[in-house]
Amino acid sequence: MNLQTSLSADPAAVSPEALVEQLARDGRAAQRVLARISDADKAGALRAAAKALRAAESEILAANAQDIAAGEAKGLSAALLDRLRLDAGRLAGIADAVEQVAALPDPVGEVISADERPNGLKLSRVRVPIGLIGIIYESRPNVTADAAALCLRSGNAVMLRGGTEALHSNRAIRAALAAGLESVGIPAAAIQLVPTQDRAVVGAMLTAAGLIDMIVPRGGKSLVARVQADARVPVLAHLDGICHTYVHAAADADMARKLTVNAKLRRTGICGAMETLLLDTQFPESASVVGGLIEAGCEVRGDARAQALDSRVLPASGEDWDTEYLDAVLSVAVVDGLDCAIEHIAAHSSHHTDAIVTDDAEAAERFLDEVDSAIVMVNASSQFADGGEFGLGAEIGIATGRLHARGPVALEGLTTYKWQVRGSGQARP
Amino acid sequence: MNLQTSLSADPAAVSPEALVEQLARDGRAAQRVLARISDADKAGALRAAAKALRAAESEILAANAQDIAAGEAKGLSAALLDRLRLDAGRLAGIADAVEQVAALPDPVGEVISADERPNGLKLSRVRVPIGLIGIIYESRPNVTADAAALCLRSGNAVMLRGGTEALHSNRAIRAALAAGLESVGIPAAAIQLVPTQDRAVVGAMLTAAGLIDMIVPRGGKSLVARVQADARVPVLAHLDGICHTYVHAAADADMARKLTVNAKLRRTGICGAMETLLLDTQFPESASVVGGLIEAGCEVRGDARAQALDSRVLPASGEDWDTEYLDAVLSVAVVDGLDCAIEHIAAHSSHHTDAIVTDDAEAAERFLDEVDSAIVMVNASSQFADGGEFGLGAEIGIATGRLHARGPVALEGLTTYKWQVRGSGQARP
């Protein structure tokens, strides 16, 4: 029995806590089925889901048209409407992405370590799914398929709670995915969409410790902040991407000019975009790096020494060092060497991604060792902070927490392990 | 500057939150020093701490005598007083344990995975410390040294909050450990003891997200339950050890008799002790297994089919299947095969340690795969659930959470990782 169908009729008839509990019990039961099936069958289920998405094109686009019409009536911005809008090409891209996840290797079952004790006990640590993962996200309907595919490929069930603006699109996408799973014998409850937009249900998900094993928020800073503040369930997320690039005294000047423009301006709205540039006092080409950024269209706010490099540099306030602009704006400080750069980063970084540009191998290794961020880079653009670029095939998000998983989190990050012990009758002395 | 000294004069003069924040800032600064020193220097610091513990024997035993006198005046039970009491032998054992941790290999710096992307970016995931770890524990003063040693060996700073009964002992042990660290140039704030027994400080530790990276509660169920309920900081713990042993149809009868007695009765008060025995209807020697347990001094409470095996079996109530007795009491159910056993365990296990006894390799592998507990065993006593027995050298605790670490948690479980990226000027297309 799948509550998804029965409850969507009248989800308001039960309390938010009871609704989440019932959905979670159904999802956990479906997850136990997933945990028993083979790698090939999990991949096959995702291919069936992708096929069902393609087959449901007209239903999904019709549902999306409803959301777009409602969004226009509500006066959503053009940018939001664009993120919400699906067409045949975008839907094909969503189905392709599901097939790409199907083609990734399954992390479940990997033997992380193995040992044999002197008494003959054989120990192994084996990778297993996390269980039931809750995803709380905003208006982009592609997240419905992407997140569901990553969770399923790693043996997890998923409880999705998308934004109100995308409600009809999400329901149509979820229905297609579920139909695909059922066609190969996997319970539809492995992919659930919360059947109400009641905000109290989000609160009930966040506090459902023991029922939901992990929450992944996908969206803007206010969503992530609320989830982190209220959750009793472990959360995989990052709040800010205040990413630094430090141009060391021994940096190659051409590389410094190229990487700073790319790190700041390739796309300014992503979490891996550089927000603060640190220029070493001993680096001779600082003025041309700053000039290059300004000429490429960037507003530069600097400390006194950065202002001295170029008259177009505006004065930075104290807040600038802790600001994620997500725009063509950059704070620039001049620092007295590697230790000062590391100290500035320790004080102001959000521990997402920080980079050094240098030809000095020793300085590079010290930066890699001593900067305590989820991702540390040498001679590369911080915009590479991405699961796809890291070869993970996809990502569920980028994590800056210290436990379990950091950086781009994909299939492996959606698993944990258990210890398996094989004995031959050992009683403990 | 180390607040430990200044604040212990009058910790009541600041709010619990301000106290924890100041201690955490000092601890985090000390951790950054630890993160930079070599493996050999960390080991040397622990050997110096062990030496300082031995040198401070008379101070520590005098402080312990104060605690014992206060405990006797307060009417503590003989068992509690015994756990609290130190003598020269026990103190030498504590110093030995610190030296054993010094001798363990350092997990920090281990390359977990490495890859090179087609664009030449070199990626590696490298193990790093978690940061500042809070330990909240009850009356055993040896935890002060054990927990501090494990945290330091893995590059973490530690904030200790021990029980009131052991206050003077803990202060003396902490002072000796800190003196040892300082003798080799490591800030004493790497090992801090909360300088007040104000219970509000525990609340402030539990909610110090961003200041304390992880909390480990060490003590009884009520302490762990409170920590799990109130913490905003991630918690590494287990609440219950409701461990099952399933005697399969194809079990060796002698092994089944030996392992069930050992799993239940070797020590009844530890978390790995068996609390429920599942006997397969097709196992022919069930009566002798039950008889053996009763004759070894165990009270057996069973379902109707277990009662039919032996007239001395008492009736089990519904609650028995969810009870951790920590005593010479056992619940016994007769089950119809492997699937029923797995289902019973899924419904009632606390996901700590569960075991099967069988000579059927296929049944064993299904049990190992399908039982979702931190530790799953074949043909061995569940009392082996222990970091020392697993060859980890020691343990900070046993974790039943699904994120980060499960089962016995030792040095490696006290670390996380970061991604290191080595480029040659790659800008992201």
Q: Rounded to two decimals, what is the model's pTM?
A: 0.87
Provide the pLDDT confidence category of residue A107 given band limits of 50, 70 and 90.
confident
Q: Which residue of A has its CA nearest to B372?
A: A418
Is residue B411 a part of any domain in this protein? Answer: no
CATH of the domain at A254: 3.40.309.10
Is residue A237 a part of any domain in this protein? Answer: no
- Total of domains in chain B: 2
Please indicate, yes or no, whether residues A212 and A249 belong to a single structural domain of this protein. Answer: no
A197 pLDDT more than 50: yes
Written as six digits, the tokens of B414 are 């006290």
* A37 Cα to chain B: minimum distance (Å): 11
Please indicate, yes or no, whether residues B20 and B146 belong to a single structural domain of this protein. Answer: yes
Cβ contact A377–B421 (<8 Å): yes
A307 pLDDT more than 70: yes
- Paired with B160 in beta bridges are B135, B193
Please indicate, yes or no, whether residues A220 and A259 belong to a single structural domain of this protein. Answer: no
Residue with more model confidence, A5 or A16:
A16
How does B133-149 read in b/e, with b if 16+ C-beta sit within 10 Å?
bbbbbbbbbbbbbbbbb
Is residue B179 a part of any domain in this protein? Answer: yes
Provide the pLDDT confidence category of residue A5 given band limits of 50, 70 and 90.
very low
Please indicate, yes or no, whether residues A327 and A375 belong to a single structural domain of this protein. Answer: yes
Cβ contact B375–A421 (<8 Å): yes
Is residue A256 a part of any domain in this protein? Answer: yes
Q: What would the mean pLDDT of A229-245 be, rounded to a whole number?
A: 89
Best CA proximity match to A419, nearest among B383, B265, B130, B400: B400
DSSP tag of B318: G
CATH of the domain at A111: 3.40.605.10
In the predicted model, residues of chain B with pLDDT beneath 70 are 1-12
% of chain A with per-residue pLDDT over 90: 70
Nearest to A423 among B373, B378, B417 (CB): B378
Domain of residue A99 covers 3-230
DSSP tag of B105: P
Please indicate, yes or no, whether residues A189 and A327 belong to a single structural domain of this protein. Answer: no
Q: Which residues of B touch A216 (CB under 8 A)?
A: none
pLDDT at B11: 61
Provide the pLDDT confidence category of residue A330 given band limits of 50, 70 and 90.
very high
pLDDT at A208: 94
CB pairs under 8 A between A and B: 189
Please indicate, yes or no, whether residues A215 and A281 belong to a single structural domain of this protein. Answer: no
Is residue B389 a part of any domain in this protein? Answer: no
Q: Is B210 left (phi over 0), alpha (psi -120 to 50) or beta?
A: left
pLDDT at B296: 97
Q: Are A280 and A246 in contact (CB under 8 A)?
A: yes
A2 pLDDT more than 50: no
Residue B281 to residues A96, A274, B251, B284, B288, Cα–Cα distance (Å): 50, 65, 12, 8, 14
Provide the pLDDT confidence category of residue A12 given band limits of 50, 70 and 90.
low
pLDDT at B277: 98
Is residue A412 a part of any domain in this protein? Answer: no
Cβ contact B372–A35 (<8 Å): yes
Cβ contact A427–B117 (<8 Å): no
Name the residue with tokens 């390739």.
A266
Q: Are A133 and A108 in contact (CB under 8 A)?
A: no
pLDDT at B2: 43
Cβ contact A131–B402 (<8 Å): yes
Q: Which residues of B touch A408 (CB under 8 A)?
A: 419
pLDDT at B12: 63
Backbone angles phi, psi at A327, to 5 degrees: -155, 175
Please indicate, yes or no, whether residues B180 and B313 belong to a single structural domain of this protein. Answer: no
Q: Which residues of A touch B33 (CB under 8 A)?
A: none
Sign of the dihedral through C-alpha A5, A9, A146, A198? negative
Nearest to B374 among A346, A370, A419 (CB): A419
- The three-state DSSP-derived secondary structure of chain A is CCHHHHHHHCHHHCCHHHHHHHHHHHHHHHHHHHHHCCHHHHHHHHHHHHHHHHHCHHHHHHHHHHHHHHHHHHCCCHHHHHHHCCCHHHHHHHHHHHHHHHHCCCCCCCEEEEEECCCCCEEEEEEEECCEEEEEECCCCHHHHHHHHHHHHCCCEEEEECCHHHHHHHHHHHHHHHHHHHHCCCCHHHEEECCCCCHHHHHHHHCCECCECEEEEECCHHHHHHHHHHCCCCECCCCCCCEEEEECCCCCHHHHHHHHHHHHHCCCCCCCCEEEEEEECCCCCHHHHHHHHHHCCCEEEECHHHHCCCCCCEECCHHHHHCCCCCCEEEEEEECCHHHHHHHHHHHCCCCEEEEECCCHHHHHHHHHHCCCCEEEEEECHHHCCCCCCCCCCCCEEECCCCCCCEEECCHHHEEEEEEEEEEEECCC
Provide the pLDDT confidence category of residue A68 given band limits of 50, 70 and 90.
very high
pLDDT digits (tens, 9 = 90+) for B137-157: 987 899 999 999 999 999 999
pLDDT at B297: 97
Q: Which residue of B has its CA nearest to A230?
A: B232
Please indicate, yes or no, whether residues B223 and B293 belong to a single structural domain of this protein. Answer: no
Cβ contact A426–B32 (<8 Å): no
Cβ contact A422–B384 (<8 Å): no
Residue A109 to residues A35, A124, A295, B191, B356, Cα–Cα distance (Å): 10, 11, 52, 38, 20
pLDDT digits (tens, 9 = 90+) for A256-301: 999 999 999 999 999 999 999 999 999 999 999 999 999 999 999 9
Please indicate, yes or no, whether residues A210 and A153 belong to a single structural domain of this protein. Answer: yes
ipTM for the predicted complex comes to 0.84
Q: What would the mean pLDDT of A204-226 be, rounded to a whole number?
A: 91
Please indicate, yes or no, whether residues B106 and B196 belong to a single structural domain of this protein. Answer: yes
pLDDT at B9: 47
Cβ contact A418–B406 (<8 Å): yes
A4 pLDDT more than 70: no
DSSP tag of B161: E
Mean pLDDT in chain A? 91
Burial (CB count within 10 angstroms: exposed 0-12, middle 13-18, buried 19+), residue B27: buried
Please indicate, yes or no, whether residues B46 and B186 belong to a single structural domain of this protein. Answer: yes
Please indicate, yes or no, whether residues B92 and B182 belong to a single structural domain of this protein. Answer: yes
Cβ contact B390–A123 (<8 Å): yes
pLDDT at B10: 64
Backbone angles phi, psi at A198, to 5 degrees: -50, 120
Q: Which residues of A touch B372 (CB under 8 A)?
A: 32, 35, 128, 418
